[in-house]
Amino acid sequence: MQVLATLISGLLFGCGLVVSGLINPAKVLNFLDLAGTWDPSLAITMAVAVVTTAIGYRLAFERGRPLLDSSFHVPAGNAIDGKLLVGAGLFGIGWGLAGFCPGPAIAALSIGSSPALTFFVAMLAGMAVARGVASSPNLTGVMR
């Protein structure tokens, strides 16, 4: 049942990305271009997402436990460290340059988007490099 719920949730999320235009890098880049061809329509998408998430979290945590598991699995850490800041910075730079972030890029793969494929391959390469840095005893201190 958990796998089916996960599949349905992922499909619903992907459909939301398609309907909102987030799989179109031009729309995203226009949203980020405040001094040029700014397109504020994605702000509506973000506002709806924030409200929906807030309501969803409130309802879910009031239940005391998830529907399909025995407990919530919430991250224990909340420290703002170098690893988080570098990761967030790289995410923002990549999003601003390519117009994709991971979710929309994967959704865009379903329509055969070659820019999404290029982004996806580069993302996988970046993940491999990050794992290599994280597991290297000589480079681990750099990220702390």
Grouping H, G, I as helix, E, B as strand and the rest as coil, residue 143 is helix
| Average pLDDT per block of 10 residues along the chain, 144 residues long | 91 87 86 88 88 92 88 87 88 86 87 90 90 75 54
- The confidence score (pLDDT) of residue 144 equals 54
- The confidence score (pLDDT) of residue 43 equals 87
Report the b/e string of 60-77 with b at 16+ CB within 10 A: eeeeeeeeeeeeeeeeee
- The confidence score (pLDDT) of residue 17 equals 85
pTM of the predicted structure, to 2 decimals: 0.68
CA-CA distance, 56 to 35, in Å (whole number)?
35
- The confidence score (pLDDT) of residue 8 equals 95
State pLDDT tens for residues 92-122: 888 888 888 888 888 888 888 899 999 999 9
Q: What angle do CA 20, 21, 27 make, to 5 degrees?
A: 130
